[in-house]
Amino acid sequence: MYVAKEERYETMQYNRCGDSGLLLPAVSLGLWHNFGDTANYENMKELCFTAFDHGITHFDLANNYGPEPGSAEKNFGKILNEEMKAYRDEMIISTKAGYDMWPGPYGNWGSRKYLISSLDQSLKRMNLEYVDIFYHHRMDPETPLEETMGALAQIVNSGKALYVGLSNYDGPTMAKACDILEELEVPFIINQNKYSMLVRLPEENGLLSEAANKKKGVITFSPLAQGLLSNRYLNGIPTDSRVRTDGRFLKEDALGEEKVRELKKLNDIAANRGQSLAQMALAWLLNKKEVTSVLIGASKKAQILDNIKATENTKFSNEELQSIDEICAKVV
The residues, any chain, with a CB within 8 Å of residue 248's CB and separated by 6 or more, are none
The Cα–Cα gap between 303 and 14 comes to 20
| Model pLDDT, residue 145 | 98
Report how many domains make up the chain. Answer: 1
**DSSP codes joined into one string, 205-246:** SSHHHHHHHHT-EEEEE-TTGGGTTSGGGBTB--TTSHHHH-
Q: Are 325 and 316 contacting, i.e. CB atoms less than 8 angstroms apart?
A: no
| Model pLDDT, residue 244 | 44
Which residues lie across from 192 on neighbouring strands?
167, 219
Is 2 domain-assigned? no
Find the CATH number of the domain harbouring 30.
Answer: 3.20.20.100
Q: Are 201 and 175 contacting, i.e. CB atoms less than 8 angstroms apart?
A: no
DSSP element (H, E) containing 181:
helix 171-183
Residues of the chain scoring pLDDT < 70: 236-255, 332
| Model pLDDT, residue 291 | 98
The predicted model scores a pTM of 0.94
Is 325 domain-assigned? no
Distances (CA, A) of 261 to 149, 251, 264, 269, 328: 45, 17, 5, 13, 11
Is 329 domain-assigned? no
Is 5 domain-assigned? no
Whether omega before 141 lies within 30 degrees of 0, making that bond cis, reads: no
Domain range for 30? 14-254+288-312
| Model pLDDT, residue 234 | 85
Distances (CA, A) of 73 to 22, 148, 237, 278, 311: 23, 23, 30, 27, 28
The residues, any chain, with a CB within 8 Å of residue 20's CB and separated by 6 or more, are 163, 187, 189, 217
The Cα–Cα gap between 106 and 235 comes to 46
| Model pLDDT, residue 240 | 54
Is 52 domain-assigned? yes
Is 7 domain-assigned? no
Is 249 domain-assigned? yes
The Cα–Cα gap between 57 and 80 comes to 12
Is 259 domain-assigned? no
The Cα–Cα gap between 23 and 15 comes to 5
